[in-house]
Amino acid sequence: MESGVHPLRGHILITHTHWDHIQGIPFFDPLFVPGNEWDIYAPRGLGSSLRESLAGQMQYTYFPVTLEELGAAIRYHDLVEGVFEIGDIKVRTRYMNHPALTLGYRLDADGVSVVYACDHEPHSRQYARGTGTMSEQDRRHIEFMRGADLVIHDAQYTTTEYANKIGWGHTPVDCAVDMSRAAGVRRLALTHHDPLRSDDRLDALCEDLSTSLPQAVRPMEVFAAAEGMVVELEASLDIKEKDTENFSAIASIVPALHEHQVLIGIANETLAAKIQQAAQADNLRILQAETSEEVLGIVRSTRLSLVILDDGQVGGDALETCRAIRNIDVDHARDLPVIIAANAESDAGSEAGVTDWLIQPFTSEYVRTRLLAWVMRSMCRWRRAPFPENEARRIEALKELKLLDTKIEDRFERITRIAAAAFDVPIALVTLVDQDRQWFKSRFGLSVTETPRDQAFCAHTILDKDVMIVRDTLLDPRFADNPLVIGEPRIRFYAGYPLTLPNGTSPGTLCLIDTRPRELDEVKINLLRDLGRLVEREMAATLPS
Ligand SMILES: [Zn+2]
Ligand SMILES: [Zn+2]
């Protein structure tokens, strides 16, 4: 603004909406000037949208100007892990390990790479304490920083201080240095300094670090980042080495949804209404057709983002309609996603050109998430579990237990209490997987009493005979977009033991949940099996003999 340039155009990348990271926004002058244009980016799945989070801190009680009154045009972008471009800058995002959903950013432009990795805690707590080695996840973090010219890294604690701050989501200084060295980083700017550390003590800390760093072939410069500091970076010659093209991009920015048109070619009114409602919730534009001819007519004349058909379609079967769409001689018909809602997938689908199936029954939240993924042509990282082969017998056995919707019983409560304590997890549950929901017979650390079955991790667990472990939900394509992961209770770790009844069916699980990624060693897995067998014994005791 001092330069007098108008209008001003800019981009703001936000790691997460913890207060220390967004406090400056209401005081950022360029946002108040009409004509200016700003793009604001933050991780998707913060529960309420980014816009709402920012509006929250500018409510009238706290601040005289509301978000709506800001003069500049502001666009909000929800991000997941992946790659996107801002002008000629390539931006990569990577989830950090922090109590709130947080992204780190890597910017590549003009042969220079800069990484911003705050707020982050090493995944292996032993490694963070200096008493063990790093985990696979930590190596992934290092890959993210590989060869960067400048890494601005979380370094809030000393190793001694960290011992009392485990799980707070921040990195000890020594770890930040060690990981950056392993990544071959040129310059390391330490930041997110502990608020109690004075500038003098910070200088002394950096002095110590510089003298203790081994003189490598390519030395790494370490300093404490300070407000107003400017670091000049020159393009290094070994750009090739840093080029990480095969970086696992999962999805990119979600653009404006109202520009997408969805054609619902479904004759069944209830089903059509349910899908339409889900699409409208995300401002997608909806077109409707009831017959195959109408569907084909609209596909010919309109640029669509998605077509959904159902196999009970009036005047022809959906596979036939899909084949006909693929044969329409306009470009946009050939790669148009075509989804069929059905009770089961058909083998003939891929030959007919079906993109995906929407298997019934499903909740509206589930179809909403899938719709977005299809429209954006990105992977939907939320999959509902198929039904077990013995589903009918399983449900029958579950009803026979007479445990659904019964009162709290101490014989189960004590087991979840012990489990939570023994595994040091905030949540431990005895779950029962019913026809279309999972109900909790015992729940330690969780207030809700049931969830829809298509959200249930345990619906996956009961498909198998042994413990299912999800070390980090955000990295698992079955769960990363699950509402229980992106919203409350923000599951990051799950371990479930499938309970088995004497007749061989599985009514539910004993499971452990944490809001942080974790590992479970063989000793602990055995302990979970042991506790699971105690639950099985209690259940069998209620069966008529
Ligand atoms: Zn934070
Ligand atoms: Zn922070």
Cα(221) to ligand 1 centroid in Å equals 26
pLDDT score recorded for residue 98: 85
- For 444, the 3-state DSSP assignment is strand
Cα(98) to ligand 1 centroid in Å equals 7
- pLDDT band, very low/low/confident/very high, at 243 (cuts 50, 70, 90): very low
Per-residue tokens: 124: 């292996």
CB 48 within 8 A of CB 55: no
Average pLDDT over residues 173-197: 93
- pLDDT band, very low/low/confident/very high, at 242 (cuts 50, 70, 90): very low
Q: Own/partner pairs for 178-183, CB < 8 Å, 24+ apart?
A: 179/122, 179/134, 179/138, 179/141, 179/142, 179/145, 179/153, 180/145, 180/151, 180/153, 180/220, 181/213, 181/216, 181/220, 182/142, 183/142, 183/143, 183/145, 183/146, 183/147, 183/148, 183/151
Q: Which residues share a beta bridge with 443?
A: 429
CB 79 within 8 A of CB 253: yes
- Cα 346–chain centre separation: 30
pLDDT score recorded for residue 254: 44
Mean pLDDT of the chain: 87
The secondary structure of residue 408, as a DSSP letter, is P
Cα(212) to ligand 2 centroid in Å equals 28
Q: For 346-382, write each residue's pLDDT tens digit.
A: 888 888 889 888 988 888 888 888 888 788 766 677 8
Average pLDDT over residues 9-37: 89
pLDDT score recorded for residue 498: 98
Cα(21) to ligand 2 centroid in Å equals 6
Q: Own/partner pairs for 539-545, CB < 8 Å, 24+ apart?
A: 539/401, 539/403, 539/499, 539/501, 539/507, 540/501, 540/502, 542/401, 542/402, 542/403, 543/400, 543/401, 543/501, 543/502, 544/400
pLDDT score recorded for residue 258: 63
Question: Strands (DSSP E) along 360-460, which ranges?
Answer: 427-433, 437-444, 450-452
Which of 27-41, 246-260, 426-440, 447-461 has the least mean pLDDT? 246-260
Which stretch of DSSP H or E encloses residue 261? strand 261-265
Q: Which residues share a beta bridge with 221?
A: 187
pLDDT score recorded for residue 379: 66
pLDDT score recorded for residue 240: 43
Cα(168) to ligand 1 centroid in Å equals 9
User: Which ligand is closest in space to the CA of residue 100?
Assistant: 1
pLDDT above 60 (res 246): no
Cα(15) to ligand 1 centroid in Å equals 8
- For 75, the 3-state DSSP assignment is strand
Which of 59-73, 114-128, 283-297, 496-510 has the least mean pLDDT? 59-73
pLDDT score recorded for residue 90: 92
pLDDT score recorded for residue 64: 75
Cα(192) to ligand 2 centroid in Å equals 7
Average pLDDT over residues 342-347: 83
Cα(58) to ligand 2 centroid in Å equals 19
pLDDT above 70 (res 416): yes
User: Which ligand is closest in space to the CA of residue 168?
Assistant: 1
Cα(18) to ligand 1 centroid in Å equals 5
CB 206 within 8 A of CB 173: no
User: Which ligand is closest in space to the CA of residue 18?
Assistant: 1
CB 37 within 8 A of CB 70: no
pLDDT score recorded for residue 256: 53
pLDDT score recorded for residue 214: 67
pLDDT score recorded for residue 63: 76
Please tell me which residue, 292 or 247, carries the higher pLDDT value. Answer: 292
Cα(141) to ligand 2 centroid in Å equals 18
User: Which ligand is closest in space to the CA of residue 156?
Assistant: 2
Cα(149) to ligand 1 centroid in Å equals 25
pLDDT above 80 (res 108): yes
User: Which ligand is closest in space to the CA of residue 20?
Assistant: 2
Half-sphere CA count of 103, side-chain side, radius 13 A? 22
Cα(185) to ligand 1 centroid in Å equals 24
pLDDT above 70 (res 511): yes
User: Which ligand is closest in space to the CA of residue 195?
Assistant: 2
pLDDT above 70 (res 86): yes
Q: For 7-20, write each residue's pLDDT tens digit.
A: 999 999 999 888 88
pLDDT score recorded for residue 360: 85
Cα(166) to ligand 1 centroid in Å equals 14
pLDDT above 80 (res 22): yes
Question: Roughly how many angstroms between the first and final C-alpha of the chain, as a whole number?
Answer: 81
Cα(421) to ligand 1 centroid in Å equals 26
Q: For 390-415, write each residue's pLDDT tens digit.
A: 999 999 999 999 999 999 999 999 99
Per-residue tokens: 187: 């310059």
Average pLDDT over residues 412-439: 96
Please tell me which residue, 133 or 249, carries the higher pLDDT value. Answer: 133
Question: CA 156 to CA 193: how far, in whole Å?
Answer: 4
User: Which ligand is closest in space to the CA of residue 16?
Assistant: 1
Cα(127) to ligand 1 centroid in Å equals 21
User: Which ligand is closest in space to the CA of residue 116?
Assistant: 2
pLDDT score recorded for residue 248: 35
Cα(194) to ligand 2 centroid in Å equals 10
Q: Cα 522–510–124 angle (5° rounding)? A: 40
Look at residues 123, 191, 124 and name the one whose alpha carbon lies nearest to residue 151.
Answer: 191
pLDDT score recorded for residue 306: 92
Question: Which residues have their alpha-adjacent CB atom under 5 A from ion ligand 2?
Answer: 20, 119
Which stretch of DSSP H or E encloses residue 280? helix 269-281
User: Which ligand is closest in space to the CA of residue 101?
Assistant: 1
Cα(24) to ligand 2 centroid in Å equals 13
User: Which ligand is closest in space to the CA of residue 99?
Assistant: 1
Q: For 275-333, write each residue's pLDDT tens digit.
A: 999 888 877 889 999 888 999 999 999 888 899 998 765 556 889 999 999 998 887 78
pLDDT score recorded for residue 348: 85
pLDDT above 80 (res 61): no
Cα(121) to ligand 2 centroid in Å equals 11
Cα(100) to ligand 1 centroid in Å equals 6
Cα(21) to ligand 1 centroid in Å equals 7
Threshold 0.75, pTM exceeds? no
User: Which ligand is closest in space to the CA of residue 154?
Assistant: 2
Phi and psi at 258, nearest 5°, equal: -70, -10
User: What is the share, in percent, of the chain residues with pLDDT greater than 90?
Assistant: 49
